[in-house]
Amino acid sequence: MTDARRGATITAFEADVLCLTLERKTFSDHFSKHKLNVAYAKRAAVSAEASGHEDKGSAEEKKNTAKDPSKRRMVLEAIKVNMLFRNLTIEQQESIVDKMWLRDVKSGTKIITQGELGDTFYVVDAGEFDIFKDGKQVAHRAAGSSFGELALMYNAPRAATVQAKSNCTVWMVDRSTYRHLMTDTSVRRLKEIEAFLRTVQLFAPLTDAERSKIGEALEEANFPDNYQIVKQGDEGDTFFILKKGETVCTQQETPQSAPKEIKRYLAGEYFGERALIKNAPRAATITTVGPCAVYYMNRQAFTQLLGPLEEILKARADSYKLLQDEYKKRQEAAAARGEVLSDGAPASPRSAANASAAAAQSKTEEAPSHLDKNIKLSDLTVIGTLGMSIPSPSLPLSGARCPLPAPLNHLPFSFSLSVLPHRTPH
């Protein structure tokens, strides 16, 4: 109808799904704006609320949400493995667990009836349930399992009957509570992401509206210690922003060589853009150093939303080669000193004081950046030697001699001053 991209993903929950399709031209011929507006009538019917026949519990029963740690873990695990909740954030999953209330179900009770409207999701706390479809038992549910999740998504007849095989207790939540939770947590999450993106230097050139669009496209993931988020050589289709924790970037020159540390990333830094920009395999491995949380987006969102930052991202991608070259230089310098770099750090048993002194000496030995490093000693001109006679103003500066100040003229040394030749700009 609007020539827009798909706004959601539709996944089949059953093994055998039959779909009727209609091409755009046929759809436009029958349901264009100047004809019957059937689409809106159907959509209103799907999203409309209905009370149904399921007992959702009294207001007093809904207050019974207290859970000891073991019960809370059990309900949370049941939610995590359920298809509907699998992609929710930890905060959203825990919010659902917090709102679920306990209900007793007597043996033989049909808690769900096939064909009736329902709006409640259940997690079995204790006891067992049998599931029947068209009068035939097709499944079984015990403590720690769940059922009825599709009723939280839309108003449709139940696909099967669920009957208590014994006296049971269940944790339950209805569609209204679920939708309020999702709305509240989604709005709060988006505000948190937008606030975080304002601290990321990459997104500084963007407007608030552009950052908001990026925030809507970002997903969140958590990784344990020593987990490889990105692996060198793999195909890359994801861009990452480190929300919390630290990661290390390592690279192997050959499959047989030991990984070498190139860089470390802290909260607010990003990685993974090179493979997306250059359509090349991952150039390095990113491993967590302790538990980490990241925001990420796929290739399609990256391409559509980060267009204004294309030049910045390309420059960043090109800088990775500079990091590799810098590491090689450090290796060569360490080898010249008889040391070996291991994971980017000196491996020789030197004290911190010696290491600091060596770094200071190395820094002083570097030529100032504004000088021409190709100047030879023969290009310099002697303008005077301290400790001899006072120069005459009429004498040319070259070759002049001047004494040390009186307090220093007893010291047993002399030295020459040299300046750059006139042909240089300095």
User: Which of the pair, 187 or 38, is modelled with greater confidence?
Assistant: 187
pLDDT at residue 264 is higher than 60: yes
97 closest CA partner among 189, 183, 178:
178
56 in Cβ contact with 119 (< 8 Å): yes
pLDDT at residue 392 is higher than 80: no
Report residue 55's pLDDT band, with 50, 70 and 90 as the boundaries: low
The residue whose two tokens read 């988020």 is 229
Here the contacts of 189-193 (C-beta below 8 Å, separation 24 or greater) are: 189/89, 189/91, 189/92, 189/220, 190/215, 190/216, 193/218, 193/295
Torsion, Cα 110 18 81 238, to 10 degrees, reads -160
192 in Cβ contact with 252 (< 8 Å): no
pLDDT at residue 19 is higher than 60: yes
The Cα–Cα gap between 165 and 129 comes to 5
pLDDT at residue 390 is higher than 90: no
- The pTM score is 0.50
Mean pLDDT of 20-36: 65
Q: Cβ neighbours of residue 19 under 8 Å, at least 6 residues apart?
A: none
Q: Cβ neighbours of residue 52 under 8 Å, at least 6 residues apart?
A: 116, 117, 118, 119
In the chain, CATH 2.60.120.10 sits at 59-181, 203-321
The DSSP secondary-structure symbol of 142 reads: -
Per-chain mean pLDDT for the chain: 75
CATH fold, domain 203-321, is: Jelly Rolls (2.60.120)
The residue whose two tokens read 């009727």 is 20
N-terminal to C-terminal alpha carbon distance within the chain: 70
Q: What are the pLDDT digits (tens) for 99-132?
A: 999 999 999 999 999 999 999 999 999 999 999 9
pLDDT recorded at residue 87: 78
For residue 222, the number of C-alpha atoms closer than 13 Å in the C-beta half-sphere is 7
pLDDT at residue 406 is higher than 50: no
List Cα–Cα distances, 192 to 91, 322, 336, in angstroms. 12, 34, 50
pLDDT at residue 47 is higher than 60: no
CB count within 10 Å of CB 88 equals 20
User: Which of the pair, 350 or 176, is modelled with greater confidence?
Assistant: 176
Residue 285: helix, strand or coil by DSSP? strand
Q: Residue 290: which region, alpha, beta or left (left: phi > 0; alpha: psi -120 to 50)?
A: left
The Cα–Cα gap between 175 and 161 comes to 19
The Cα–Cα gap between 277 and 260 comes to 24
Mean pLDDT of 182-194: 87
Please report the DSSP string for 367-416 in residue order: PPTTS-TT--GGG-EEEEEETSPPPPTTS-STTEEEPPPGGGTTSS---E
Amino acid letter, 82: N
Does the domain at residues 59-181 carry the CATH identifier 2.60.120.10? yes
Partners of 248 in beta bridges: 264, 287
User: Which of the pair, 222 or 400, is modelled with greater confidence?
Assistant: 222
Six-digit token pair at 126? 């204790």
List Cα–Cα distances, 133 to 115, 214, 261, 393, in angstroms. 10, 44, 58, 113
